[in-house]
Structure 1
């Protein structure tokens, strides 16, 4: 685990750490208290990954195309 706050992680950082957390939990060699901490960290990392994916989907959905099908810019997306 890193000391980086989950809220500051990129998608890739969060995904790598989430994979490490899952690996530790699956190994079965972790004490109960540490397992609980890992599970909580893993839940936060999963949420961060989902948030970053949603942001990316919204950006892709906002891309507009001209009459030839070429991207011409973005339009605001209502995130509410």
Structure 2
């Protein structure tokens, strides 16, 4: 399976798009609020980066599914 196919089916065992997005928003709020140690801030940043990748994977997969349906529809109507 290619990376694109893996993204099209979603991140697998990871959180849903909605869960990842909600957690990412929480991470951003905590970083913006400040008051955390440098080590904790770095850990939050790294978690935020991973959550952003998960969200992007879900969005890329959704785009690929939409494109596939459109292509199939165009192929069916052009024959």
Superposition deviation, residue 20 in structure 1: 0.2
Whether 2:53 is the aligned partner of 1:34: answer: no
How far has the Cα of 1:31 moved from its partner?
Answer: 1.2
Q: What does 1:13-52 align with in structure 2 at a 5 Å threshold?
A: 13-52=19-58
Could you tell me which runs of 5 or more consecutive residues in structure 1 were left unpaired when the two chains were aligned: 1-6, 68-80
Q: How many residues align?
A: 61
- Which has the bigger relative contact order, CA under 8 A and spacing at least 6? 2
* Runs of 5+ unmatched residues, structure 2: 1-12
> Aligned residue for 1:4?
none
| Partner in structure 1 of residue 4 of structure 2 | none
| Higher helix content, 1 or 2 | 2
Tell me the TM-score normalised to structure 1 length: 0.71
Deviation above 2 Å: which 4+ runs of structure 1?
Answer: 64-67
